Amino acid sequence: MGEAIHLNREEKKTLIRFARAGGASTRESIQLCKDAAEAGADYVMIIPPGYYAGALLADTTSIKKFFVDIAEASPLPVIIYNFPAVSGGIDMDSDLIVQIIKSSGNVCGVKLTCANVGKLTRIMAQVSRPGFQSAFPRSSASPFRAIDGFIDFLLPSISVGSAGAISGLPNIAPLTNSQRSCVRLWDLCQDCESSKEATELQNLIALADGVALKIGVSELLRQFDSSRFLC
């Protein structure tokens, strides 16, 4: 993200050595989770390995297996990180993310740096349903959390179940109006009590819209017309 220009020669060499020591494999990621636990971390955040993005996208079961295998072996709770811009364009949809959540109780959250409020809504609409926790219990004592990767859609995302945002903007100029504005926005979001009925309705609409996005509006209309004709 441009930090290299701020490093001296030796710092750059150190960065390269550490980068080469890491890896995007399942085996290496599990070991890094264990290292993080030994170092005192509370959680780990896992991003899809984007180098072979085309092959992974051709069979998304491999993406699911990558996350589930790591989560099941990790001594720390796992946060899924969906950031297409830095993972070869891999943009996990809500169905895949929910499948991963259901498959491992050690998945405690998701960070969405894809600016998709509808996706966040569909995820929270399912994981917050009555009975989801008992059917798919979490290993962590805390409830499942969804987090924004951008602060520019914090207000609408909070209204549909987001726990907050991890954003770069408030850090750009921490002593200027940028930070104060972001903190003020967060405070205002906490004061806004959404109607329970509106939230439930938004969840229902978001799930329906997820179907429309997958099959297309024209196909949805065709099926609707056919079913109405048959009735």
* Complete DSSP assignment for 96-126: HHHHHHHH-TTEEEEEETT--HHHHHHHHHH
Q: 111, 119, 196, 214: which is the annotated catalytic residue?
A: 111
Half-sphere exposure for 154 (CA within 13 Å, toward CB): 21
CA 40 to chain centroid: 23
Q: Is 12 helix (H, G, I), strand (E, B) or coil?
A: helix
d(CA 33, CA 44): 7
Q: 211, 177 in Cβ contact below 8 A? A: no
Is residue 214 part of the annotated active site? The answer reads no
The residues that are catalytic are 111
